[in-house]
Structure 1
Amino acid sequence: MFRGITGNVLILGIVSFLTDVSSEMIYPLLPLFLTTVLGGGPAFLGIIEGVAESTASFLKLFSGIVSDRVTNRQRLVFWGYTLSSVARPLMAVATASWAVLLIRFSDRIGKGIRTSPRDALIADSVDPSLRGKAFGFHRSMDHAGAVIGPLIATFLLAYVIKDLRTVFWLAAIPGLLAVLMIMLRVKDVPRTRKESDGRFLQAVPKGSLRTYLLILFLFTLGNSSDAFLLLKAGQLGVTPARIPLLWTFFHVIKMTSSMPFGALSDRIGRRGIILSGWGIYVLTYLGFALAVTELQVWLLFAFYGLFYGLTEGVEKALLMDIAPTNERGTAFGWYNFAIGAGALPASLLFGFVWQLAGAGAAFTLGASLAAVAALLMFFFIKTANPPVR
């Protein structure tokens, strides 16, 4: 079962679990903290998240390119996690909305620095024929943290403490444990370093890699924020008290499906698994366009969780099958940038269509863009079995 889960893959999976526990102890409480404690409004919350995620997307590209040109990726991973783990709990001392913006900005800088080098290090640490399983394991651990973090915060606030700031301080513990594990257990892997010629445009993907990333960008344009799914759930009768349960259920599906489908892609190929996931996405969005009951919402969230399990780790494994060996960090940088660049206009477009034409039209548009991307993937991305090192 754990064949291919090497030391680095295991430790980086645990690191992501601990980091997500820390992050998810804070993030779900952030809107409440900002609006009720600090007096900020929804508009400023939107500014905070927009600045934070845009920063992370750009830095993921930059750090990926840099990671191919430095001798030690582990240091980039270490400093990225360290910055986030130190900055995040400082929410406990924030006294104004601008301080929250600064802290989230610092947290996302750390995420931007670490993500692409970490994924490239995972790819370097495992046999190519087992990459799907390795990335699936990593995503499973990440989703497990997203399940446990909010549950810990809920338990603390319900039975132990009443102060949000104390929860934020306690969130430092798993984050700092993650940093300690990187420092003591994560090792860099010998590889061929790409020589730098000082020209950024030389890092722009070419050939099938560029085609794959453009198709992912198109798919992302149809993949709006999951907040819209929760909004639809609320309209169909899911009460505020049951929304956290629905969200936890969703993450459990993602957690339990990511590694099995990643391993399956190692045996039968990546493209078919991704296309299956995108097909489920299309059906799920069409389902949300037609849903009228709460039971349908729960079933659709289960299918939506399977979409993540089928695609998140497998998309990364396919990226590594296509990318040149000495440009893995760069490939992950462009991958993360393409998804980040598509996420903001996707949500703006979805919200605009919802407001003008209704939820059904918005979900149908998302499903249509995903269907077009799936057709392009089918016709233009031809992949053989994962290479053997």
Structure 2
Amino acid sequence: MAFGVVSLLMDFVYEGARSITGPLLGALGASGAVVGVVTGVGEAAAFGLRLVSGPLADRTRRFWTWTILGYVVTAVAVPFLGLAGVLWVASALVIAERVGKAVRSPAKDTLVSHATAVTGRGKGFAVHEAMDQVGAVIGPLTVAGILAVTGDDYAPALGVLAIPGAAAIVLLFWLRARVPDPAGYETTPTAGETVVPGQSRRLPRAFWVYAAFTAATLSGFATFGVLSFHLVRQHLLPVAAVPVIYAAAMGVDALAALATGWLYDRTGTTTLAVLPLFAAATPLLAFTRTSWLAVAGALLWGAAVGIQESTLRATVADLVPVGRRATAYGIFAGIMGAATLVGGTLTGVLYDVSVPLLITVVITIQALALALLLITRTRAVHPAGA
């Protein structure tokens, strides 16, 4: 529970900032393509650099150190984002905040996977994600309120986020002192835990097939930066209202995480079929010129993110042994990062070219992802044919 409070506080910080990334970059002269590239690169960094941080966490076994370091990077980068007066500085800080997530996430996910071993990983990761989203609702609403009062001044709106960031770091140090080794919660072996001579360092084939499905669905998924850019550019909402929509999307994120986490513990990967369906429907709604439809698209985007942040990650823990789990999370995140970069860049560029073309491409990609998920399930049921 205490770790959930840390995540709540830090989501307060970085989700508050992410809720206005698109309008902030737009105010500094960015086009839709630039917003898509910067947010895509940021997400790619958040995922891709875990290819390094994951194995390092496994090798050093310093899971708390990597977790704390990553949170510190984020807590420092966000308040300075509000002071950026030129596009390249703001872009660098957006990416730096995501780098902090890359540093901490494999180690943090490993710590959470240990703690959820006795509760059911689908439910455990879902509850953790739901607590994240409490902060993800409070942060954007706080930013929205300050923007409304100050006349869209980004400096105080982002500067106030230094307070929950500092509180989270203090709580992390306290928690590490109380629970130095969460691996003690692993009371039973995990699926795939048996060590085979000569193969103890290899990840299961099921993991790689599952990662391929994840890459496919994320390569056709828009970032909120592009969605919020559309909302402001088409004058569908004022800038101060965008963080409110983001907060609502994060509330939907929490509900989707809890629902799919509960279903995952009972039905397995079948639950994930809703992810490409949500991702395909999002641009159909979000990139219209009707306010309520665009808002509905943003909320559906939040539901898809909730599944990505909880159930997708829970599955990895059930596929990979304890000794390789941080490495697996790092590799999985690297694959997610590359796909997210493709998704953010693709949707940003296509937005500037043709919204109907953007929608067509996204639907096609998600149809392919859904087919790949079916193959994944077939292989899981018939391992001899894998």
- Displacement after TM superposition at 1:207 (Å): 1.3
1:363-374 equivalences in 2 (<5 Å): 363-374=362-373
Q: Unpaired segments of 5 or more residues in structure 2?
A: 187-199
Distance (whole Å) between structure 2 residues aligned to residue 102 and residue 366 of structure 1: 30
Correspondent of 1:151 among 133, 137, 141: 141
For normalisation by structure 1, the TM-score amounts to: 0.79
Distance 1:30 1:244, change over 3 A: closer
Distance (whole Å) between structure 1 residues aligned to residue 293 and residue 104 of structure 2: 38
Q: Unpaired segments of 5 or more residues in structure 1?
A: 1-9, 193-201, 385-389
Correspondent of 1:218 among 211, 216, 219: 216
Distance (whole Å) between structure 2 residues aligned to residue 71 and residue 286 of structure 1: 42
1:86 paired to 2:76:
yes
- Displacement after TM superposition at 1:252 (Å): 1.6
Distance (whole Å) between structure 2 residues aligned to residue 292 and residue 160 of structure 1: 28
**Aligned-partner residue type, residue 134 of structure 2:** A
- Displacement after TM superposition at 1:85 (Å): 1.1
Distance (whole Å) between structure 1 residues aligned to residue 247 and residue 16 of structure 2: 13
- Kept after mapping to 1: 8 A contact 2:52/2:330: yes
- Kept after mapping to 2: 8 A contact 1:278/1:371: yes
- Displacement after TM superposition at 1:238 (Å): 4.2
Distance (whole Å) between structure 2 residues aligned to residue 379 and residue 90 of structure 1: 49
- Displacement after TM superposition at 1:370 (Å): 3.1
- Kept after mapping to 2: 8 A contact 1:25/1:168: yes
**Aligned-partner residue type, residue 270 of structure 1:** G
- Displacement after TM superposition at 1:66 (Å): 1.3
Distance 1:375 1:325, change over 3 A: same
- Displacement after TM superposition at 1:366 (Å): 3.7
1:24 paired to 2:23:
no
- Kept after mapping to 1: 8 A contact 2:30/2:87: no
1:59 paired to 2:49:
yes
Distance (whole Å) between structure 1 residues aligned to residue 247 and residue 382 of structure 2: 35
Distance 1:293 1:313, change over 3 A: same
**Percent of matched pairs sharing the same residue:** 23
1:173 paired to 2:172:
no
Query: Which range moves more in the overlay, 227-236 or 99-108?
Result: 227-236
Correspondent of 2:343 among 327, 346, 360: 346
Aligned partner of 1:313 in structure 2 is 310
- Displacement after TM superposition at 1:154 (Å): 1.9
Q: Residue 223 of structure 2 aligns to a residue in which SS?
A: coil
Q: List per-residue Cα deviations over 1:62-83 (Å, max 9, x = no partner).
A: 1111111223311110111112
Q: List per-residue Cα deviations over 1:203-231 (Å, max 9, x = no partner).
A: 67441111111121122222233455557
Q: Residue 127 of structure 1 aligns to a residue in which SS?
A: coil
Aligned partner of 1:15 in structure 2 is 6
- Kept after mapping to 2: 8 A contact 1:53/1:108: yes
**Aligned-partner residue type, residue 316 of structure 1:** R
RMSD: 3.5
Q: Residue 60 of structure 2 aligns to a residue in which SS?
A: coil
1:183 paired to 2:180:
no
**Aligned-partner residue type, residue 258 of structure 2:** M
- Kept after mapping to 1: 8 A contact 2:36/2:349: no
Aligned partner of 1:329 in structure 2 is 326
1:137-148 equivalences in 2 (<5 Å): 137-148=127-138
For normalisation by structure 2, the TM-score amounts to: 0.79
Correspondent of 1:207 among 200, 205, 208: 205
Distance (whole Å) between structure 1 residues aligned to residue 26 and residue 285 of structure 2: 30
Distance 1:289 1:375, change over 3 A: farther
- Displacement after TM superposition at 1:338 (Å): 1.0
Aligned partner of 1:109 in structure 2 is 99
Distance 1:369 1:226, change over 3 A: farther
User: Number of residues paired by the alignment?
Assistant: 362
Distance 1:309 1:381, change over 3 A: farther
